[in-house]
Amino acid sequence: MYTQPKETQLPYQNPDLPIEQRVEDLLARMTLEEKVAQLGSRLPFVEAEWRQWIQSPLEDRIARTQAQPFDQIAASGVGQLSLLLRELPPRLAAEVTNTVHSSVRQHSRLGIPPIIHDEGLHGVLANDATSFPQSIGMASSWDPVLLEQVATAIGWEARTRGIRQLLSPTINVARDPRCGRTEETYGEDPYLASRMAVAFVKGVQSQGVVTTPKHFAANFVGDGGRDSNPIHFSERLLREIYLPAFEAAVREGGALSLMAAYNSLDGIPCSCHHWLLTDLLRGEWGFQGFVVSDYGSVGHIHEYHRVAATRMEAGQRALEAGLEVELPVTDCFGPSFVEGVRQGRVSEEALDEAVRRILWVKFWLGLFDDPFTDPDLAERVNHAEHHQALALETAREAIVLLKNEHHALPLAANVQTLAVLGPLADACILGNYTWDGYPPERYVTLLRGIRSRAQGVDVRFAQGCEIKGESKEGFAEAVRLASQSQVAVVCAGNSPLTEGEGRDRADLALPGVQADLIKAVAATGVPTIVVLVGGSAVVMAGWIEQVAAVVEAWYPGEQGGTAVAEVLFGDTNPSGKLPITFPRAVGQLPLYYNHKPTGRGYDYVDLTGQPLFPFGHGMSYTTFEYRNLRVTPHKVGSHGQVTISLEVQNTGERAGGEVVQLYVHDQVASLARPVKELKGFRRVRLQPGETQTVTFELDVQRLGFLDAHIQHVVEPGAFEVMVGSSSADIRLSGGLEVV
């Protein structure tokens, strides 16, 4: 590789100089047009071609991608390239990356490299990448250490292809499971979401790939669970529930990009919200990176929100509020925007500051010094065997055992006939933000997993019905097979056809006639196990009482069928815990564990106010006893530290994992406080009879809240300390006094 001699280097080309010095030198050399170009992005095709292209066969997409005029793309000086490498196998993606960066060096005046970005929510959204369990499943592991390993693998696969920014993770708090994008989140609790967010950011960025936590802010909970609807929350609610995961991603994780949301906050679109993007993000949290738009959201300032008369004005409002990059194509930051700067209608100072932030990240990534990647390494790393093994391990930890009546699971060793039924039993369902060309033979379906595990067992399969639709023609065959078997396993749930981005739901019941299929199978009297696939809560009225067990598999990734089969046969003891509340009926929503006290009652006239399955719930094939809770000291100052410890013993006959959950309640405060708040959790693995001491170190400042003036305060008084197996299954409690 050619390296320019140091004596001929300009200061910004010298890797030995501090990044800040290199940025300032380069910025001083840039023309107005070159500066504005850094705010923009482009797709491989114009929009009309793109829509046609995504419907064409994979071979055509690869060929057309290869045929793109990369010299022209590079010479344009654009700041970002969107979705450039998605369709390409790893080796070819690396080769295209190298072509792009070589062209930049040869054909652009200053050689400013673009950032190639794509998605990486639960695996790089690209040809031949590893598909891990969906985010909601990884949250069910309650295992940030494992998630960081997954994120490191995702970052490594992305970088070897040439992708240097991932538009992930989604860290919106999911308090209303009707939102179709609940599957992308880490659940309803700000503390759990924060720990998982930090783990993901650290893992990906350790590989030299920028993360982009999204969508900033409060994107999923505005109105009936509908994505991107307007938000009218108080600042206190935003800061206590919807912003902590973003703050943690920035302050602790070091996230170097953030995505502004589509929705408005109190009438101001998030993509031009100065308080969000500048005062809070940079002024309070010290964010060093750049903010990108959600796809098209700068244009929405003009088109949808109607708070800008023109696209140029929309761009001006976004830039001056603190948004630096428009994705996926340059629209509002185009020629009219350049003219707006020339005429003084757009702040040149704001433009320089935006470009400064973008360049800083590009230097941090090393794109000016060595932007190239090794095609051989890309081929070895993507979908490597150890990544497949990690996908299997994560799927095992993600599975939640919701119900297990009369120890129906694990399946008895003497089971000789097994009916595997349902529309998702032999389907390749990986969840949203998965590459649409994923080869089905690489995905282990539940049927494949069971047949591989159940050697010597007569496994019979019938689909029974479609995921959607009203036809019951397949019921007779499913019922016949069930009635001739010792056990029936019905795999039901959702898919990207029934939930996901742009697919919010008014009803959380199983789509189509799946519930009727479950009832018909259960009516045979054969013990019936339901395995749920999907990304959010499901209401189960009408069939939950008729089945023996319910297993929540989520979208379990490419190795999901193996993991579920291991749980069914007892090779793996399930240990996942729900990161969201499952309601009994949609009429209870929104429903979450950390609510504030009611002014009247919790129940409805026709239904209890209690959930079907609470936050933190998850059963095991063994039992755990909690004892000897100790809170030291019992009295502590507002800047002190408290040690909370207890013993957990596996009192069953199987090895198993348990997530020990710490909750706290402020008993008397100047403002109403939640009935309980998660303040810590520990995952432990115990052999039969084994006892382990679990210890939490709690900073007393974390017991504080925002007072009437939105100032953080820790008030003196009594706190209840609760430790349990879920938010509703509190095993031990004690007292703590802040003085």
Residues assigned a catalytic role: 294
CB under 8 Å to 659, separation ≥6 — which residues?
142, 575, 577, 616, 618, 681, 682, 683, 725
Query: Considering only CA atoms, which of 532, 490, 531 is closest in space to residue 508?
Result: 532
Q: Could you give the C-alpha distances from 468 to 85, 118, 178, 461, 729, in angstroms and in order?
A: 33, 30, 17, 19, 36
Helix and strand numbers (H, E) in the chain are: 22, 25
Q: Could you give the C-alpha distances from 41 to 76, 83, 115, 277, 319, in angstroms and in order?
A: 10, 10, 9, 20, 15
Residues 103 and 73 sit within 8 Å (Cβ to Cβ): yes
Q: How far is it, in rounded angstroms, from Cα 678 to Cα 710?
A: 21
The number of beta carbons lying within 10 Å of the beta carbon of residue 734 is: 15
Residues 85 and 97 sit within 8 Å (Cβ to Cβ): yes
Q: How many residues does the chain have?
A: 739
665 phi-psi bin (left φ>0, alpha ψ -120 to 50, beta other) = beta
Q: How far is it, in rounded angstroms, from Cα 36 to Cα 338?
A: 7
Torsion over CA: 50, 53, 58, 64 (sign): negative
Q: How far is it, in rounded angstroms, from Cα 570 to Cα 415?
A: 13
Query: Considering only CA atoms, which of 439, 413, 444, 409 is closest in space to residue 426?
Result: 444
- In degrees, rounded to 5, the angle at the alpha carbon of residue 585 between the alpha carbons of residues 580 and 588 is 70
- In degrees, rounded to 5, the angle at the alpha carbon of residue 598 between the alpha carbons of residues 593 and 603 is 75
Torsion over CA: 60, 65, 67, 72 (sign): positive
Q: How far is it, in rounded angstroms, from Cα 428 to Cα 441?
A: 9
Beta bridge partners of 625: 649
Residues 531 and 514 sit within 8 Å (Cβ to Cβ): no
CB under 8 Å to 658, separation ≥6 — which residues?
575, 620, 624, 648, 650, 683, 684, 686, 725
In one-letter notation, the amino acid at residue 458 is D
Q: How far is it, in rounded angstroms, from Cα 303 to Cα 319?
A: 17
Identify the three-state secondary structure at position 67: coil
Q: How far is it, in rounded angstroms, from Cα 81 to Cα 118?
A: 9
What's the farthest any 2 CA atoms get from each other in the chain? 84
Identify the three-state secondary structure at position 613: strand
Q: How far is it, in rounded angstroms, from Cα 630 to Cα 645?
A: 5
Q: How far is it, in rounded angstroms, from Cα 380 to Cα 157?
A: 9
Identify the three-state secondary structure at position 635: strand
User: What does R_g of the chain's alpha carbons equal in angstroms?
Assistant: 27
